[in-house]
Amino acid sequence: MKIGIIGAGQLGQMLALAGFPLALQFRFLDSSPESPGAQVAPIVVGAFDDIAALRKLAGEVDVVTYEFENVPVAALHEMAAARPCFPPVDALRVSQDRILEKELFGRLGIPTPPYRAVDTLADLEAGVAALGLPCVLKTRRLGYDGRGQRVLKRRSDVGPAWEALGSVPLILEGFVKFDREVSIVGARSSRGETRCYPIVTNTHREGILRVTVAPTRDARLQRAAEGHLHRVLDHFGYAGVLTIEFFVAGGRLIANEMAPRVHNSGHWTIEGAVTSQFENHLRAILGLPLGDTSPVGHAAMVNYIGTMPDRDRVLALPGAHHHDYGKAPRANRKLGHCTVVAPTAAQRDAVLRQLLRRIPR
């Protein structure tokens, strides 16, 4: 069985690594022959909307998936006409537009921040008046890791934010005074079986995920998050891994966004869960029985951003697992990660503190 993956970044690389023990083979489509996936499988080189490249990939594989949200929907329709393609194209289409995403959440009864569509400066002024300050202006499409966003704290922020972002359709969201940020990762197979991982607590800086701590033991929030996730999975007749990120405010979950793919906040599952999110994604799209999503201890995942740490100093820490994606250093670029797994939360937190001191900030 050969799996085609659109995108050959670190997520694709880790999908392939998870699939080798299942006797799966892989092919990637990516614009760069030097992407991380090249370390583990051949790459069909071409743009994501290159019809010839898409057809070449389709001709070499049995099933197609993707590893990031900015794949052109038309390209996936092209692939889906030739080969089974998971997750569903419609899930990708909705996730690519923050308005469509919020509207879906609303129809499914999933709480979100208040929001307004913004296409003109007048729309922005009206939205600020309706939602109040502070609020957050975001591009509707293509924003990730903090890109395409401006926090409006005072009236004088409105004009500069419009100048910076106003050339594309936007969304204005009410600012959520949250207690913490959490996410849930789950998988639904093409046969309808569903498994959820425990919710995790995430820490971001400059819009980029820095630390994930797992599990977050809160039975009430876990039930709520699983309920929200199941409604989205069932709505799309989903197959694959899906992630929803939430704010926790006043003891309630408020949905921020979803990702129809394996997710950075699920990297801890490689060593910290019985079955990783990457293996379960592959099981799900192939209709195989899903694996156990239980944690095997207490885990923390730390991203390496911009600069790699000294490998020996990281590996000297008990329970530390070092992942180097093989990418060239660049400011704000995710180059790798480390997962710490320990028998108790206290032991995990002690090692996490040491790890953070050994990572360039």
State the Cα–Cα distance between residues 273 and 216, nearest whole angstrom: 14
Supply the range of the domain harboring residue 164. 114-174
Please indicate, yes or no, whether residues 32 and 128 belong to a single structural domain of this protein: no
What's residue 71's pLDDT?
87
The continuous run of DSSP H or E covering 129 comes out as helix 121-131
Asked, for residue 102, whether it belongs to a domain, the answer is: no
Using CA atoms, how far apart are residues 334 and 13, in angstroms rounded to an integer?
14
Q: What is residue 89's predicted lDDT score, i.e. its pLDDT?
A: 95
* Per-residue pLDDT, 280: 98
What distance in Å separates the CA atoms of residue 345 and residue 325, rounded to the nearest whole number?
27
**pLDDT value at position 24?**
98
Contact 66, 84 (CB under 8 A): no
Q: Whole-angstrom Cα distance, residue 260 to residue 86?
A: 9
Task: Count structural domains, the chain.
Answer: 3
State whether 352 and 253 are in the same domain. yes
258 and 352 housed in the same domain? yes
**Rounded to a whole number, what is the distance in angstroms from the first to the last CA of the chain?**
42
- Structure tokens given for 241: 């891994």
Tokens of 36: 């991380």
Which residues sit opposite 28 in a β-bridge?
A: 5, 43
Residues 191 and 129 in one domain: no
- Name the percent of the chain in helix, strand, coil, to the closest 5: 35, 30, 35
Per-residue b/e over 200-238, b at no fewer than 16 CB within 10 Å?
bbbeeeeebbbbbbbbbebeebbebbbebbbebbeebeb
Same structural domain for residues 223 and 281? yes
Domain containing residue 233: CATH number: 3.30.470.20
pTM of the full structure? 0.96
Place of tokens 């293509």: 142
Q: What pLDDT does residue 175 have?
A: 96
Task: Say if residue 65 is in the same domain as residue 120.
Answer: no
Burial annotation 271-285 (CB, 10 A radius, 16+ → b, else e): bbbebbbbbbbbbbb
Give CA separation, 230 vs 68, 281, 334, 342, in Å.
21, 16, 30, 30
Is 97 inside a domain boundary?
Answer: no
Q: So what's the pLDDT on residue 145?
A: 58
As averages over each run of 10 residues, the pLDDT of the chain (361 residues) reads 97 98 98 96 95 93 93 87 94 96 98 97 97 96 75 96 93 96 98 98 94 97 98 98 98 97 98 98 98 98 97 98 97 96 98 96 76
The DSSP result for 6-64, as a single string, is: E--SHHHHHHHHHHGGGT-EEEEEES-TTSGGGGTS-EEES-TT-HHHHHHHHHH-SEE
Residue 100 lies in a domain: no
